[in-house]
């Protein structure tokens, strides 16, 4: 009998490929889509929506991308497995007491994040890396028109935000000089370090509460762990560092190479960058990944060890990836044969110069990476793993 899955949606880019994967594995999917059109759905409204569906029909599981405490609470009452997959870091909702519910099946892609939360509910929290929808990407790449799609050809490209519009630190008013100086000292130190997140080592709850007097911190619900240290380190400083790093590295690169940036962010501080505007994620992004000679990835600091979705997507499109070092990369890919990394500004410049002048080697690395992802790291592989754990609920 087909597994019946109730899929709660908010329009994540990961929802369509996960639904396709579940369907290909023999599941029947029914969707809840209120939050796609109404981003102001409250937890109480979410509980009512889920409850009404569970009263009306029996399901084998309720699924969502990222963790919803409200869904967890409803599923716990109905004794229905709640399966959720993290695709973002940080997810502050994981500090909710709801993470301890026994009907949770929570899958976290960043191993450092998994290590933090696993002790809170050892039987119900699992590590699972992200993946790529290779078959779907193949179908799009096969439609590439040599003339019409020439606009997607780049020497070096990056698709993503500069985080300037997402960074609450930029809105913090009247920070005392000593506090601003200390925080910016921390951030400048982190910018020089690749492969290790020092923020959680040097930020304290006391420092976070001091910052909270002047700037915005995450508002923790009453029934949750009020981890202000994580709120400052990840939600505030992590995003600001992403802005500083992306502007700096893209600026350095665009001074020497032709760099195309697909973003809605303000690029006025990057006069040599080619701002291509926004891109259609499902139809245009795969072509850019496939046609760019070098696809850049800059992992935000809240993803401490794991591989962000961008890496999987680029490789699943047969694109060449040049990314900052992350601890988990070597667990899945052979560096220099399936993916390339940089550990400093100098190395980033050197590898861009090298691979722009070594077409055959670059193309072979891209092909090797594509083959590895297609064979072992599709959403079908990940959904099959999640389904194998659901019957234990």
The Cα 50–Cα 314 span in angstroms is 35
pLDDT score at 196:
87
pLDDT score at 358:
98
The Cα 337–Cα 367 span in angstroms is 9
> Would you say residue 392 has pLDDT above 60?
no
Burial of 283 (0-12, 13-18, 19+ CB in 10 A): exposed
Mean pLDDT of 283-308: 97
> Would you say residue 194 has pLDDT above 90?
no
The Cα 154–Cα 341 span in angstroms is 19
Radius of gyration of the chain (CA): 21
195: left (phi over 0), alpha (psi -120 to 50) or beta: left
| 349-355 contacts, C-beta under 8 A, 24 or more apart | 349/252, 349/253, 349/256, 351/322, 352/156, 352/253, 352/256, 352/257, 352/294, 352/322, 353/256, 353/257, 355/293, 355/294, 355/320, 355/322
69, 18, 78, 3: which is closest to 224 by C-alpha?
A: 69
Percentage with pLDDT > 70 across the chain:
99
Burial of 44 (0-12, 13-18, 19+ CB in 10 A): exposed
CA 251 to chain CA mean position, Å: 23
The Cα 178–Cα 140 span in angstroms is 52
> Would you say residue 393 has pLDDT above 60?
no
b (16+ CB within 10 A) / e for 114-125: bebbbeeeeebb
| Both tokens assigned to 31 | 């969707």
Helix (H, G, I), strand (E, B), or coil: what is residue 24?
helix
> Would you say residue 197 has pLDDT above 50?
yes
Residues 6+ apart with CB under 8 A from 193: none
Residue 137's pLDDT band (cuts 50, 70, 90) = very high
Residue 93 DSSP class: G
Q: What are 20-38's pLDDT values in tens digits?
A: 999 999 999 999 999 999 9
> Would you say residue 391 has pLDDT above 80?
no
The Cα 112–Cα 341 span in angstroms is 20
Compute the mean pLDDT over every residue in the chain, rounded to the nearest whole number.
96
The Cα 316–Cα 51 span in angstroms is 37
Mean pLDDT of 252-270: 97
> Would you say residue 93 has pLDDT above 90?
yes
> Would you say residue 45 has pLDDT above 90?
yes
Residue 69's pLDDT band (cuts 50, 70, 90) = very high
Q: Are 50 and 71 in contact (CB under 8 A)?
A: yes
Strand partners, 295: 157, 321
Q: What are 329-363's pLDDT values in tens digits?
A: 999 999 999 999 999 999 999 999 999 999 999 99
The Cα 300–Cα 183 span in angstroms is 17
> Would you say residue 138 has pLDDT above 90?
yes
Residue 1's pLDDT band (cuts 50, 70, 90) = low
- Put simply, whether the predicted model's pTM sits higher than 0.85 gets the answer yes
Element (H, E) at 21: helix 15-24
How many residues are recorded in the chain? 393
Mean pLDDT of 165-179: 92
Strands, E, within 116-266: which ranges? 125-127, 154-159, 259-262
b (16+ CB within 10 A) / e for 185-212: ebbeebeeebeebebbeebeeebbebbb
Strands of the sheet with 4-8, listed across from one edge: 28-32, 4-8, 61-65, 82-85, 104-108, 125-127
Our CA dihedral for 48, 16, 98, 299, rounded to 10 degrees, sits at -140
Q: Are 323 and 173 in contact (CB under 8 A)?
A: no
The Cα 251–Cα 272 span in angstroms is 7
Strands of the sheet with 154-159, listed across from one edge: 274-275, 259-262, 154-159, 292-297, 321-324, 340-342
Mean pLDDT of 163-175: 92
The Cα 263–Cα 276 span in angstroms is 7
Domains present along the chain, CATH in parentheses: 4-131+379-392 (3.40.50.2000), 134-376 (3.40.50.2000)
> Would you say residue 195 has pLDDT above 90?
no
């Amino acid at each position: 009998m087909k597994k019946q899955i109730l899929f709660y949606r908010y329009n994540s880019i990961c929802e369509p490929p996960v639904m396709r994967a579940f369907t290909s594995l023999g599941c029947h999917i029914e969707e809840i889509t209120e939050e796609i059109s109404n981003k102001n759905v409250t937890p109480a409204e979410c509980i009512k929506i889920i409850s009404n569906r569970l009263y009306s029909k029996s399901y084998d599981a309720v699924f969502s991308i990222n963790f919803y405490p409200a869904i967890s609470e409803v599923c716990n009452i109905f004794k229905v497995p709640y399966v959720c997959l993290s695709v973002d870091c940080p997810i502050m909702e994981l500090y909710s007491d709801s993470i301890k519910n026994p009907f949770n099946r929570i899958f976290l892609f960043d191993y450092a994040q998994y290590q933090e939360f696993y002790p809170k509910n050892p039987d119900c929290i699992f590590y699972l890396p992200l993946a790529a929808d290779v078959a779907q990407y193949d179908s799009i790449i096969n439609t590439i028109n040599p003339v019409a799609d020439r606009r997607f050809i780049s020497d070096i490209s990056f698709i993503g935000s500069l985080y300037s519009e997402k960074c609450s630190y930029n809105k913090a008013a009247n920070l005392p000089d000593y506090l601003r100086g200390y925080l910016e000292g921390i951030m400048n130190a982190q910018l020089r370090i690749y492969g290790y997140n020092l923020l959680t080592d040097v930020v304290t709850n006391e420092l976070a509460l001091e910052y909270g007097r002047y700037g915005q911190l995450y508002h923790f619900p009453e029934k949750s762990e009020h981890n202000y240290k994580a709120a400052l380190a990840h939600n505030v400083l992590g995003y600001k560092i992403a802005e500083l790093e992306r502007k700096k590295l893209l600026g350095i690169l665009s001074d020497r190479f032709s760099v195309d940036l697909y973003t809605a962010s303000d690029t006025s501080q990057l006069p040599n960058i080619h701002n291509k505007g926004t891109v259609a994620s499902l139809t245009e992004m795969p072509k850019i990944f496939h046609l760019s000679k070098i696809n850049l990835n800059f992992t935000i600091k809240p993803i401490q060890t794991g591989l962000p979705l961008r890496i999987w997507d680029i490789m699943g499109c047969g694109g060449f990836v040049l990314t900052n070092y992350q601890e988990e990369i070597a667990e899945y890919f052979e560096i220099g044969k399936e993916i390339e990394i940089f550990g400093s500004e100098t190395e980033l410049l050197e590898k861009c110069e090298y691979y722009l002048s070594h077409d055959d080697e670059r193309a072979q690395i891209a092909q090797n990476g594509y083959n590895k992802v297609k064979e072992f790291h599709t959403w079908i592989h990940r959904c099959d793993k999640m389904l194998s754990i659901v019957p234990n609920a």
